[in-house]
Structure formats: C-alpha cells, structure tokens
Chains A and B, each alone.
Chain A
Amino acid sequence: MLKTLSRLSFLVLAILAMSYILPLSFDKVFGKHNEDPLLFYSPVLHQFVYQESLGGHRFNYLDEEGRSYSRQEFEALLPFVYSRNLERRDLLPMVLEGRSFDAQSISEDRQGLEIRARHVRGQKPRIQLYPLFNNDPQVAMMRFPVEVFRFTPNAMEFIDADHNRLDPHLTGRFTEALKDKGFVFPAEVIGGRPTNLKPFDDGYFIGDSMGQVFHVKRVLNEPQIFRLPLDSPLDILDVVVTEHERREFHGVIIPRQGEVFLIRWGDYGLIPLPVKDYDPRSMDLKLLIDPLYRTVTVSSRGAVTGVAMDAGYQVIRRYELPRREAASDLVRHSRDFLFPFQLTLESPHHGQAHVGLHVGGPWSLAGILLAFALFFLLSRRDPPFPANKGDLAVVALSGLLGLTAVAFMKGDFFPSAA
C-alpha cells in the first residue's frame, strides 16, 4: 500500500513539475506572444481602425474592411491619438466636423483610462490601508498624510504611522460623520489613488455593506462626505478614481455583473458605458476620450470589441475584432501533442498566483497514443520494463509526460550502482 502510494506520489510530482516547466520552456523557444490589437475609432473614416502586432516591433495597420495603411497614413486617421506626430508633420490644425483642432486643444480634451482585470479587487493582493490626503486650498503641495485609514466592522480607523497607533480623534470624527450620512459598516469596497503623483486629490469612493456609495474626502482635517444618489443598491466589485484635470467624472464604478458606470462630476449621476457581457475579472477595458468621441474597448479571450460614442455617451458604432492565434498551427499542434495539459501559476487576468490546469486539444490524444505505443515497446525490452495497470493509467492520463516519469521510476530500467 505505502509502496504503491509512495511511487505514485513521485509520479504525480514529476508529472506536475514537467507539465509546469516544459510548456513554459516550449513557449519561450517557439514564442507565443499574444499582444492585444489596438483598436481606435477614426474620426476621419468614421469607422474603427486597428494596429496589429506581428511580433518583433512589426505591425499591420488596418481598418474594418481590411484595407491596409502605412504607419503615417494610420496616424493621419487618428489625429487625436497621434496629435504630437501630426503636429511635427505640419498636419495640424485639422478641421473635423466643422471644428478646427490644434495640438493644444486636443491635449486639453483627451483622457485615457484603463481597467485591467489583473488590477481589479480580488485579482491581486491588496493591503487595505490607505492614506487620506488633506485638502487645504492654501497649500499647493500635496503632502503625504502621517495617518493611514482602514475600515473595521464598525469604524473607519486612522493609524498614526509615526507611532504606529490608533488616532482616536480622526477615527471618531470620520466614523461619526459616515454614520451621520447613513453609512452602514463595514465597508465593502474602497476606491482611491493612494499616491501624491496626481494633479489633485479627489479622496475615496467607498461602498458600504448596503450597496451605497460614499465620496469621502478630508478637507482641512475634517471629513467631507457625500452619499451618491443611486437608484438602487449596487453589488460593486471595484471603484476606480480618475483624478483627471478634465473633471468630467470622478471615477468608474465596476459592479460585478457586466456593467460599468462613470460617476459624473457635479451631480454624481451615473453614466452607463454601453458594454455587453463585460466580465471585469477576465477582460480588460479601455476608455479613450477625445474632443469629439468616446471609445470603449473590451479585450476578451476571443475578441476585442470597440464601441464608439458621441460626447453624450450615445452609441454611434460598434465593431468586434476577432483575436487571431499568434502561433502557427504546427507550433500549436506540436504543443498539444507533447503536453496533454499544462499547469500554470500565472494568469493574464490576475496580479497574483492563480493555479490553472489547461487541457490540450485533439492532438493531445495523438500524443497519448504515441506514449502508449512507446510504453509497450519499452515493456518488451531487456532488462524488463514491466507493464502494470497503474503505470498504464498514468500514461493514459498524461501521455509523454507520464511516460517519461514512469521510465525513470522503473525498477530495472536504471539499475543501481553495485
């Protein structure tokens, strides 16, 4: 019993180790870069254009119809994206839809925002301690506060870093102020930018246990709290705060179920973005704002989807670009043939370890059949390589990987040094 278990244990370890390292090494040798194509809405063509990587800093520039462009032609189709280059080429100012744009006006009315799955709450390790910057209109510099805050089941606690202990005054003030505004502890989600490398501080957006959202700021060391006027409670995955000079919106609320809302500056109204089947845990979302349009693109496993909107966030065009396999058929089939499954620790959607087991395709069966054949061939060898049911099962499940492991465990296959 122990003998079988012990032997099987090593086979399992060996197969796991091989199914982790060998496919990784294979990809390193045969390259499997899958860079996302960059999708833009062209205000010149009034359709989507995209840049596709061919690897090694070579790109294809195409539009929806598959027409190919040179790099310079491509840049000219996207004056708001490549304004600096166009300015250098003396192509600015440019008149579009009756309005003239120069480099200055373009850069003032541009904003980009990216929400990557790997940075979303729960997808990467996050210690929930945040600095709450003090807003003082008299002081231009944003000084790092000496306190950080955390949320406990019934308080917003401030801890003084100089002494590593609770600041009862700030804790009391903010906890009371939150309760006064109807905050129900504990906090569910905290969104903000804990850095002073930003043009101004817009505090934090904090979701409470009832699905309400509060805007929390510290002004002259006093709490300034505003409850967002939501129609209904939201089941929020994460909140992203933008702190952008355009001050069109405070940030983005990402509920768990396929929606995205911008929090409008001023009245805190929610602007829904027209994304369908968006899963924030496995897809990356980009919002690109230029003087005329807003484009939201969502990269999923199978495709990159773009939605162009006018300045009022009304949809004017949708386009879906299916993703192409980066590796050739030969490489992909060989990979499946050799490795019936792959063990991974890293995932493109996680900022931390994520154990995954990826099963190969039909070619994996061919690999397993070859492993079987080799197994029987070897079992006729002298010194004997006895076939037993357990090893056969191991080979059936893991193909050539299993065969390798079994070969090394054969009693007489590698006789000991006498």
Chain B
Amino acid sequence: MKNVIEVHNLCHRYNGRSIYENLNFSVPEGSVCGLLGKNGQGKTTLVNILMGFLKPTSGTCLVLGENSHNLSPAVRHRVGLLHEGHLAYEFMTITQTEKFFRGCYPGWKSEVFFHLMDKMGLPHNHRVGNMSCGQRSQVVLGVIMAQSPDLLILDDYSMGLDAGYRRLFLDVLHDFAAQGNKTIFVTSHIVQDLEQLVDTIIFLDKGEIMQVGLDQFMRTFRKYVFQCERDASLPKDEVIRGFEQRGRQVALYSYEDMEAVDRHLASLGIQAHQLCRAPMSLEDGFIGLMGKY
C-alpha cells in the first residue's frame, strides 16, 4: 500500500527554538489518521507544514509524492483543506461560493455541495459572513466534499461547533472515508469525536511522535481504577504511564495486565482496594498517555 503522506527527518525551528527534531511518520492511502497532542506541542505547525503554508527548517514532507511546500496544481487539486476556524470567503453568498469553486475544480460536484447546503435551510443568497460558525463550517465542508479530493487535511474541524454540527461533520467524513481509497488526516481538540472516525492515531508530545492503530491502542492501553486511603502520589514509570486521582478514586493507565499492575503497586507500598479494569474512552487514553498539562 502506498503512502499518501510521508514525513522524513522533519525538523522545525522557530526563533532559534526547536519545535521538533527528526520527526518520521507516514499515512497510508485509505486510512483515517488523527493527530493528537496537547496545546503548544506543534500540532498546528505540523498541519501548516503538511498543508504547504510553512517551509520546515529541514527534512522532507511529501504529500501525494510531492514536497508539501511546493505542491503542483495537479496535486493540490487532489487535496482538500479545512483551515482552522473554517476559513471561508465571508464576502460571498452560498451561490457565489459554489460558482467560485466550481470554476476552479473541473470535477466539481454541485449536487454534493447543494445537498449539504439545503439541509441547513438557508437561502442561497445568504452571505457566508452572516452565518453562524456552525453554518459556515457546513459551507466549508460542502466545498471540500464537492471537490472530491483523495486526501483531506482537517485542522481542528470541531472548533466552535456544537454537538449537532460535530455529528454532522462526522457523518459526512464517515461517508467520505467509506468511498474507499480516500485518506483523511485530522486534528481535533475534541478527542472523543475522533474515536468514532479514525483508524490510526499519531500522538505528538514534546517533539516526539507515536503512531498506533486505534484498535491496537484501545486494546493494549488499559485503564484501571482502585480506591486509595490517602493521597497516592504515583511515579510515572514503565508500568504506570499515567494516573488521575479524584478524591479516593484513582485511575491508572498502563500497557500491563492487571496482575502486573497490582504487583507493581504493592511493590510501591500502595494498597489498591478494589483494583479493576475499567472501560476506557479515547479521551481517557489520551489523558492517560499525555497527561493533563
């Protein structure tokens, strides 16, 4: 299977400060990949590099085989971008937006665009600038879908959207991914949503990358809960990858099985009452792995 995105030895510095050194990962065709990282870890920078709006200090970043900061029009034609904040031409109406993009994309699917627009029930002469954030996001989504790209890069699509619009997004993206051979690279600050969408996760933390399949991660990374009598300050180590404490209830995250965790806690002198494995959401896993700060 070929890779739609390939990143080799990517380094980026800003104002002399290193943001990452030697980043390597790839996104195979047909996968839905979510980029997760806390604020300030260079998520937006990475997306900007992928989108071609930032030239990395060194290393290569190939999108559909071409350098991302120098994509040919033909490759750009195959890539759909959703910019942070659902960037759109606010001075255009729905009709004008459609007319504008139809002229730019030979394979443009008007019916896809209008199908999404008509769901909102807005007149077609409604200006984008007068829309709510949610409505605007639908216009942008309509534009991208009508382009029928092979690769979608979405920068925090959920920003400013309420649950309804987020679900709408997920629905549309799900259908898009189901067409086959379509690749999606997505970031979102609502981690929970991604669980319903992605098949691969890339964790970005302190300039390091960890790429893992969603299923594998959800299967191997585990959440345990137990009761603790006093304040349990746990060290982070090979077994304990993260923990949270609320009152006497402690949640602990680990790749190890329950027996190993129990043994490890005992060796630390901690009495874990009612230790058991608990269901873990992706958001739990994210916090467990990356911490809160």
Contact = CB atoms under 8 A, between A and B. Distances in A.
Direct contact between A and B in the complex (CB less than 8 angstroms)? yes
Interface of A: 382-383, 415, 418
A383 B13 CA distance: 10
B45 interface: yes
B16 interface: yes
A383 B16 contact: yes
Interface in B216-259: none
A383 B17 CA distance: 10
A386 to B, nearest CB: 13
B267 interface: no
Contacts, number: 8
Contacts of A418: 14, 45, 54
Interface in B1-54: 13-16, 45, 54
Contacts of B16: 382-383
Contacts of B14: 415, 418
Contacts of B45: 418
Listed from nearest, the 8 A-B pairs whose CB atoms lie closest are A418-B14, A415-B15, A383-B16, A415-B14, A418-B45, A382-B16, A383-B13, A418-B54
B293 to A, nearest CB: 22
Main SS at interface, chain A = loop
A213 B16 CA distance: 78
Interface of B: 13-16, 45, 54
Most chain B Cβ neighbours within 10 Å, of A382, A415, A418: A418
A276 B202 CA distance: 89
A418 B54 CA distance: 9
A383 B54 CA distance: 17
A382 B14 CA distance: 12
A276 to B, nearest CB: 67
Contacts of A383: 13, 16
A418 B48 CA distance: 10
8 contacts: A382-B16, A383-B13, A383-B16, A415-B14, A415-B15, A418-B14, A418-B45, A418-B54
A415 B15 CA distance: 7
Nearest to B55: A411
Contacts of A382: 16
A404 B54 CA distance: 26
A382 B57 CA distance: 13
Contacts of B15: 415
B42 to A, nearest CB: 10
A410 to B, nearest CB: 14
B49 to A, nearest CB: 11
B15 to A, nearest CB: 6
Given A415-B15, A418-B14, A418-B54, 5 more contacts: A382-B16, A383-B13, A383-B16, A415-B14, A418-B45
A383 B57 CA distance: 11
A418 B45 CA distance: 8
Contacts of B13: 383
Nearest to A411: B55
B33 to A, nearest CB: 24
A155 to B, nearest CB: 60
B54 to A, nearest CB: 8
A382 B45 CA distance: 21
A418 B16 CA distance: 13
A1 to B, nearest CB: 15
A382 B18 CA distance: 13
Contacts of A415: 14-15
A415 B14 CA distance: 8
A382 B54 CA distance: 20
Nearest to B19: A418
A418 B15 CA distance: 10
A116 B6 CA distance: 75
A395 B138 CA distance: 53
Nearest to A415: B15
A383 B15 CA distance: 8
A143 to B, nearest CB: 63
B13 to A, nearest CB: 8
Contacts of B54: 418
B94 to A, nearest CB: 33
A417 to B, nearest CB: 10
